Amino acid sequence: MWSRRGVLAGLIGAPVLLVAACNDTKSVAPGTGGTGAGGTGGTGDSTGQPTPSATSTPKISAAVITVTPADGTTAAGFSDPVRVAVAGGTLTTVKVTDSAGKALAGKLSDDGTVWTSATSPASGTKYTVAAVAVDKDKLEADANAVFTTATPANTFVGYFTPEDGSVVGVGMPVSINFSKPVTDRKTVQQAITVIAEPGVEIVGHWFSSTRLDFRPQEYWATGTRVTLQLRLKDVQGAKGVYGTQSKDVHFTIGRAQTSVADLAAKRLTVTTDGQVSAVYAISGGSPEFRTWGGRMVITEQYQQTRMNSQTVGLGSEYDIPDVPHAQRLSTSGTFIHGNYWAPASTFGNQNTSHGCVGLRDVKGGQDAGADGYKFFKSSIIGDVVEVVNSGDKTVVPSNGLNGWNMDWADWKAGSAV
C-alpha cells in the first residue's frame, strides 16, 4: 500500500520528468553541437540556453550592384544610357524592360563589371531593372530597380512628304519641315535615314533650320521602293528641344513622266516611260509676268481651285473662283492649269498669263477632250515639269520641291553629315 508520503513524492516528481523531456527535444545530436564530450557547436549562455553555432551564420555575397538611374527615380534623364555596375564581383544577368515588356538592349564590359544600354531610354517611360552578380566564391547578389524617365517640356516634329503608302513621280524628293528651328543639324540628320530598293545614293540637303530634303543624284527609277526612317524621338534638335517621332514611311515610284514647257514654241511635250505621249499648246507668263524657268515638281493637284492675285502680291489683277485642273509647281504660286477664260487662239500663240502655264480647258472642267483635263489626268504628284525659254531666271531650289535645279556637288555641300 502506498503511503501518503509516497504519493506526494510521486506527484512532485512527475513534473520534473516532463520538463526533462521537453529539454531533450532541443538537444543536438552527439558530435554536432551542444556542450557534451565531442560537441562542436556553440556553448550555453548564462540562462542555460544554447547560442547559435558559427557554422550556421548565412554567407553573404561580397558583390554590390549599383543601378543608374537609381531605384525610385521619377524624372530620370533620357539622354544617357542605363548603367548597371558591380563592385566585388561580376555581372551574370542584366535585364531592362519598359512597361510594355520591350527589352532595352545592352552590352557587358570585357571584365564583366559594367553593363551599359546600347541606346538611351525613351522619355516618359517606366523601366524595370533586374540584375544578378556573383563574387569570387560564386555567391549570388541581386538588385532590382524601377525608374521613370522625364517627359520633355519642349518638343519638335518633322512634317514629311510624300505620304505613307503613296505612289509618286520620279522627281519626288523626301522633304521634311520641322516645327521648330534645328540648331544641331548633324544629330537630327543622323536620326533620319532614306533607303531605296534598288539601292542608290541618297543625300540630305538643309535649305534652312526648319527644312531638310533628300534626293538621289538623278531622278528615281520607275518601281523604286523608298523608305523614310524617322528616329527623332528624344533627339535634341536645339537646346532643351527634343523630337517625338519614331516611325517608318514607305512610298513607291510610279511610271516615269516628265514634261517640257517650251514658252518660245508655246508647246508642252510630255514624255512617259521614255516615249513622247502628248504635245499640248500652252500659254505662259507674259513679258510683264514671266514664268520661272527650270525643273519644277508637281506638289499639289486640284480638280478646281480659286486663284486670287492678292495671295501672290499682285493686288487686284485677277480673282478666278473656279480654275480647273490646277497643279502646283512652286510655293510662290506657279501652277500649270486649265484655262477657260482665254480665247482658244491664245494657246500655242501667245504668252498672256501672270506667270502660270495654261492649257485650253472648259468652265467646270468636265470636258474629257480638253487639254487641261487630259494633262491633269495623266499626271501624279512628283512628276517634273521643266520650263525652258521663259525669259526669266531659274526658280530658287527651295521654292517648292525644286532641288533638281541644284547640281550634285552643291546639293551634297548642304548636308550636315
The 10s digit of each residue's pLDDT in 38-89 is 333 444 444 555 555 555 678 999 999 999 999 999 999 999 999 999 999 9
CA separation for the pair 362, 28 (Å, rounded)? 111
User: What pLDDT is stored for residue 315 in this prediction?
Assistant: 79
**Block residue for cell numbers 556573383:** 134
**How does DSSP assign 374-385, residue by residue?**
HHHHH--TT-EE
Place 20 in a pLDDT band, splitting at 50, 70 and 90: very low
Average pLDDT on 32-39 reads: 36
The 10s digit of each residue's pLDDT in 276-286 is 999 999 999 99
Which of the residues 205, 325, 354, 356 is marked catalytic? 356
> What is the average pLDDT value for the chain, to the nearest integer?
89
What are the φ and ψ backbone dihedral angles of 116, each rounded to 5 degrees? -130, 130
Told to judge if 22 belongs to the known catalytic residues of this protein, a careful annotator would answer: no
The 10s digit of each residue's pLDDT in 178-187 is 999 999 999 9
Q: Which helix (H) or strand (E) holds 300?
A: strand 300-308
Secondary structure of the chain: what % helix, strand, coil (to 5)?
15, 40, 45
Average pLDDT on 92-111 reads: 97
The 10s digit of each residue's pLDDT in 214-273 is 999 999 999 999 999 999 999 999 999 999 999 999 999 999 999 999 999 999 999 999
Place 317 in a pLDDT band, splitting at 50, 70 and 90: confident
CB 261 within 8 A of CB 385: yes
If 0-12 CB within 10 Å is exposed, 13-18 middle and 19+ buried, where does residue 70 land? exposed
Told to judge if 337 belongs to the known catalytic residues of this protein, a careful annotator would answer: yes
Query: What dihedral angle (degrees, nearest 10) is formed by the CA atoms of 250, 197, 208, 152?
Result: 50
Higher local confidence (pLDDT), 195 or 37: 195
Residue 403 pLDDT greater than 90, yes or no: yes
Average pLDDT on 18-29 reads: 36
Average pLDDT on 401-407 reads: 98
Residue 35 pLDDT greater than 50, yes or no: no
CA separation for the pair 330, 372 (Å, rounded)? 19
Average pLDDT on 146-165 reads: 97
Average pLDDT on 185-201 reads: 98
* Residues forming beta bridges with residue 323, ordered by sequence position: 305
Which of the residues 205, 325, 337, 354 is marked catalytic? 337
**Nearest residue to 237 via CA among 410, 416, 12, 409:** 416
The 10s digit of each residue's pLDDT in 322-369 is 999 999 999 999 999 999 999 999 999 999 999 999 999 999 999 999
Give me the domains of the chain, ranges plus CATH numbers.
Answer: 64-148 (2.60.40.3780), 155-254 (2.60.40.3710), 257-402 (2.40.440.10)
